[in-house]
Amino acid sequence: MKVVIVGAGAAGLTLASNIRNKDEKSEIIIFTKSEDIAYSPCAIPLVLGGIIESFDDIIMHDAKHYLDKNIQLHLSTAVTAVDSSKKTITFKKDSKSETITYDKLVLATGNELIAPDFDIDNRDNIYHLTNIHDGRIIQKSVEGKKEIVFISNMSIGIESAYELAKKGYDVTFLEQSFGILPLFLDGDMSGKLVELNEGVNFETNANVISITTNGAKKEIHYNDKIITADVVILPSNKVPSTVLAKQAGCELGDFGAVKINEYLETNVEDIYAIGDCVEVKSHITGTQTVSPAGTTAVRQAMILANNLAGNKLTFNPVVNTVVSKVGDYNYASSGITESFANMIEMPVVSTCIETCQKARYYPQNNKLYIKMICKLDGTVVGCQMLSKGDLSSRIDTLSFVITDNMKCEEIIQKEFSYTPSLAMVINPIVQISQEIMKKIEK
Amino acid sequence: MKVVIVGAGAAGLTLASNIRNKDEKSEIIIFTKSEDIAYSPCAIPLVLGGIIESFDDIIMHDAKHYLDKNIQLHLSTAVTAVDSSKKTITFKKDSKSETITYDKLVLATGNELIAPDFDIDNRDNIYHLTNIHDGRIIQKSVEGKKEIVFISNMSIGIESAYELAKKGYDVTFLEQSFGILPLFLDGDMSGKLVELNEGVNFETNANVISITTNGAKKEIHYNDKIITADVVILPSNKVPSTVLAKQAGCELGDFGAVKINEYLETNVEDIYAIGDCVEVKSHITGTQTVSPAGTTAVRQAMILANNLAGNKLTFNPVVNTVVSKVGDYNYASSGITESFANMIEMPVVSTCIETCQKARYYPQNNKLYIKMICKLDGTVVGCQMLSKGDLSSRIDTLSFVITDNMKCEEIIQKEFSYTPSLAMVINPIVQISQEIMKKIEK
């Protein structure tokens, strides 16, 4: 089998490695326009903050790692054409074009930035922050500067804002929405996250109109105000990269991303698509959505590798389970927010509790804030958490609850572990389920 | 409704509080032979080790807390008789007997110690370690002494052994089985746990024959050896307390504990039983078993409170999900061990991996050792973990996996959270599932 993979992000590289793990013989060829591969974009804020020493540390493998596994990896190489009837692709390297055949073609082309919807008179000291290349540039450009303004960024931006503030920069975050991370946190929880943390000056509902230059300073015009900055980080709005998919005859979905079935197959025979360029189904609403997350890409890659090896695993509808660190606090989310439920007019009941991670009397403890959103029959559709302590496995449990359509009354029947130094005897998820049950009974 | 509860351990007290939370009017009366209530037995090792300052700190509520909630709590009071036809119980307080009626009677009588199966010539400096009273006595009695020997204890004993060793005592642990915590850990994992930790001198397969006294010293005779000690902690072997249950006409099960149905009802009308005195069903084998754990007691109490309020929740078969701290390491387990699978002749495949809790490049990281046990079709039936990091929510996820009869191939289709400072991009549970799948394919 000759597998051609276009794209070497989390999706493409994980797929290549997983195919190789199952099968020593297949020919595996990857093309990427980029020079940087196999790094963790989520770790960029940690390098900017100095928690991880260097950008080199977050690169997990070099090209040789893949060559050693007999995976052909073409860096800085654009695939310029696909012919799905002849089953060929054409790529351009060092200004020479070449055409090769494939048995299976996997589009893992990711997404691409779109320009912000406001005017910028001059791009000096204005950057995007989406990849390791951006990270290295920003790390240098902020040196010796003071004021940094972030505009409506998602996780990597918000995390970087806090990390740079900790290093002594004067950081402002202008958020267009009602609160930060609006896809994952309701206003009450994101407000709490901002309130618990220190160091970054936040403005929500900030509608940026333009950025102008005044000597060495940038002036960001928003609402009826102006704020100055030495460095500006732009929003990272992106659209799926679908040029090749369209050329190959692949159908796109409601969000302009490649349409795939549960086996990650496009409508074109022997062409598959995974990662940020595809549309997926939402577990809660049953409708199409996008899920541009590394975890989604990796999961799709593992499932596709299994299926290319003859299995028939399905990529299930997503609940968007996330965890991350903002300043001194971790946040986690799975399922839909209450704001989203309201938007789609789904009747829900929700509650928030403040509890502990460990037994109340245990000395080294962390507060835990949980919000849970349920349908009126008690089925959990969303959960959000904040704590200085680890939330990763805790939200994974909720991810299972939500994908399995569990009700609160089923949660209190579940078995949770307990020891005073690590957990509460009545698990916080059980505590909040009981509160929701009380609300529903009323 | 007049509810009489016999026993004020985790089961009895949680039940009383949960009934009151749902219903302000019911008359709730609790009887306990003990003077100590509402403390966490699992925290005893932490007090002996000085992590928690005093035994008073692990008492969550005093009797007044319950009186304030209009719960009648009779300490140091034995219930001496039950008449299930007249629906009365008789109790004895200050040598006076009194008989009262009940609408619902809940037996939460717990279990009781049995004498060790070896000879002891003199009980000075020889103790059990099962409750706060024992803890206080041992705390005093080890003062100024040096050598402490524990014999075949479960969690509280093992944890206390390590905590006392950290304080400078010369501690030996004589384990009758192939390894410590044999109900939760296979020999490979318990061996690893002992190997990773320092401070306690372990001997497995140690068959204690007698303890004799030689001046101020105790001599423990086991196998063909003798070891001396200043203080000896005996095994905490227990049997369910069923005197009242038998008198009331309640049927007992295979293990001599009270037989209940999934609604926690005994065979006698209006008599329920919860906690350490009952038998439960094993999720894996479908057969009767005992589950003398605080978490089981609390879960049964919450479910029974719901059912007494008119709901119809079920107490589901158990998988025995546990977590605890032994020395510098936490261990966790859910489901059955491989040794148990072998004993009941269930064909299984298992594997162990050594991985990380966080992204490999993240500086503050912890190693994570996982063993997973699956049926030959990939259904997970058991999991064991060791790490210096938190394992509580991680094993909860496995608890869900095992109770939901999930297969490895379903696990890799599940959504897990990821951020480098808290998690790996491919969750360790997914990593080990892939290893099991490879083994099964072969």
Q: Reply yes or no on whether the pLDDT at B429 is more than 90.
A: yes
**Contact status of B122 with chain A (Cβ, < 8 Å):** no
**Contact status of A383 with chain B (Cβ, < 8 Å):** no
pLDDT digits (tens, 9 = 90+) for B306-319: 999 999 999 999 99
pLDDT digits (tens, 9 = 90+) for B104-146: 999 999 999 999 999 999 999 999 999 999 999 999 999 999 9
Average pLDDT of span B3-21: 96
pLDDT tens track, chain A, 442 positions: 999 999 999 999 999 999 999 999 999 999 999 998 889 999 999 999 999 999 999 999 999 999 999 999 999 999 999 999 999 999 998 889 999 999 999 999 999 999 999 999 999 999 999 999 999 999 999 999 999 999 988 899 999 999 999 999 999 999 998 899 999 999 999 999 999 998 999 999 999 999 999 999 999 999 999 999 999 999 999 999 999 999 999 999 999 999 999 999 999 999 999 999 999 999 999 999 999 899 999 999 999 999 999 999 999 999 999 999 999 999 999 999 999 999 999 999 999 999 999 999 999 899 999 999 999 999 999 999 999 999 999 999 999 999 999 999 999 999 999 999 999 999 999 999 999 999 998 8
Domains of chain A from N-terminus onward: 2-34+76-112+238-308 (3.50.50.60), 115-233 (3.50.50.60), 322-441 (3.50.50.60)
Ramachandran region, residue B306 (left: φ > 0; alpha: ψ -120 to 50; beta: rest): alpha
pLDDT digits (tens, 9 = 90+) for B321-358: 999 999 999 999 999 999 999 999 999 999 999 999 99
**Contact status of A344 with chain B (Cβ, < 8 Å):** no
Q: What is the pLDDT of residue A94?
A: 84
CA distance B163 to B327: 7
Q: Look up A42 and say whether it is catalytic.
A: yes
> For residues A160 and A249, is the Cβ–Cβ distance under 8 A?
no
Chain A stretch 248-277, residues whose beta carbon is closer than 8 A to a beta carbon of chain B: none
Q: What is the pLDDT of residue A230?
A: 98
Q: How far is B229 from chain A (nearest CA, A)?
A: 29
Hey, what are A280's tokens?
């997926």
Q: Give the chain A residue whose CA is nearest to the CA of B59.
A: A361
Beta strand segments in B75-216, E: 78-83, 88-93, 96-101, 104-107, 111-113, 119-120, 126-127, 147-151, 170-174, 200-203, 208-214
Q: What is the DSSP string of B372-404?
A: EEEETTSBEEEEEEEESS--HHHHHHHHHHHHT
Closest partner CB to A359 (pick from B43, B299, B334) = B43
Q: Give the chain B residue whose CA is nearest to the CA of A363.
A: B52
Comparing B274 with A37, the larger pLDDT belongs to B274
With contacts defined as CB-CB under 8 Å, which chain B residues touch A294?
418, 425
Asked if B415 lies within 8 A of A315 by C-beta distance, the reply is no
DSSP state of A131: S
Chain B stretch 22-61, residues whose beta carbon is closer than 8 A to a beta carbon of chain A: 40, 42-43, 46, 51-52, 57-58, 60
CA distance B349 to B432: 12
Q: What is the pLDDT of residue B344?
A: 97
- Closest of A166, A158, A203, A208 to residue A183, by C-alpha: A158
Q: What is the pLDDT of residue B178?
A: 86
Hey, what are A123's tokens?
């791009």
pLDDT digits (tens, 9 = 90+) for B378-410: 999 999 999 999 999 999 999 999 999 999 999
With contacts defined as CB-CB under 8 Å, which chain B residues touch A414?
316, 399-400, 403
Q: How far is B283 from chain A (nearest CA, A)?
A: 11
Asked if A43 lies within 8 A of B427 by C-beta distance, the reply is no
Strand bridging mode A78-83 / A88-93: antiparallel
Q: Give the chain B residue whose CA is nearest to the CA of A60.
A: B361
Q: What is the pLDDT of residue B332?
A: 98
> For residues B42 and B78, is the Cβ–Cβ distance under 8 A?
no
Q: Which residues, including other chains, have CB under 8 Å from residue A215's CB and lie 6 or more apart?
A: none
ipTM summary value: 0.95
Q: Reply yes or no on whether the pLDDT at B94 is more than 90.
A: no
Q: Reply yes or no on whether the pLDDT at B425 is more than 90.
A: yes
**Contact status of B363 with chain A (Cβ, < 8 Å):** yes
Hey, what are B259's tokens?
């037989």
Q: What is the pLDDT of residue A244?
A: 97
> For residues B386 and B362, is the Cβ–Cβ distance under 8 A?
no
- Where does the pLDDT of residue B194 fall: very low under 50, low under 70, confident under 90, or very high at 90 and above? very high
**Contact status of B426 with chain A (Cβ, < 8 Å):** yes
Q: Give the chain B residue whose CA is nearest to the CA of A335.
A: B415
Q: What is the pLDDT of residue A329?
A: 97
- Where does the pLDDT of residue B54 fall: very low under 50, low under 70, confident under 90, or very high at 90 and above? very high
